[in-house]
Amino acid sequence: MERNDAQGMVSPGALKNTVIGSLMCGGSSGGPWLINFGLPPTLTGTSPGSASTTNAVIGVTSWGATDNDVKRAGASPLLPTNLPVLKDTACAEYGEACQ
């Protein structure tokens, strides 16, 4: 497992994918993107972000840049509108995994 800490931005030009700077390359596709990774911090007047859940998967690596000068990776968002479709499709194909 490799860890990449980066602030993401939603790119309107990349189908609203989240884009981060990353040196990861081929083989990282499908890897989970987590927020609030690890043990919950002790907060001192700060916020853990828009989601306070720890170790929450919010996307998976979908693509990486082919330009060797610009190191970045992107993830399609896991949203209430697309995640159920993904789960339902996978369960229709591999129902025993969804029991």
Domain CATH code at residue 53? 2.40.10
* Structural domain boundaries enclosing 42: 9-98
The answer to whether position 3 is within a domain reads no
Prediction pTM value = 0.59
Could you give the count of Cα atoms lying within 13 Å of 43 in the half-sphere of its Cβ?
A: 8
What phi, psi does 9 have (nearest 5°)?
-135, 145
The answer to whether position 2 is within a domain reads no
Give pLDDT, residue 53: 73
Residue 13 three-state SS = helix
The answer to whether position 13 is within a domain reads yes
The answer to whether position 34 is within a domain reads yes
Give pLDDT, residue 41: 60
Distances 80 to 17, 27, 42, 74, 85 between C-alpha atoms, Å:
15, 27, 30, 19, 9
Q: Kindly give the confidence (pLDDT) of every residue in the chain, 99 residues in length, as a single tens digit, with 9 standing for 90 and above.
A: 677 777 788 877 767 788 888 877 777 888 888 877 777 666 666 555 555 677 777 788 888 877 778 788 888 776 777 777 877 888 888 888 787
How many domains, the chain? 1
The answer to whether position 1 is within a domain reads no
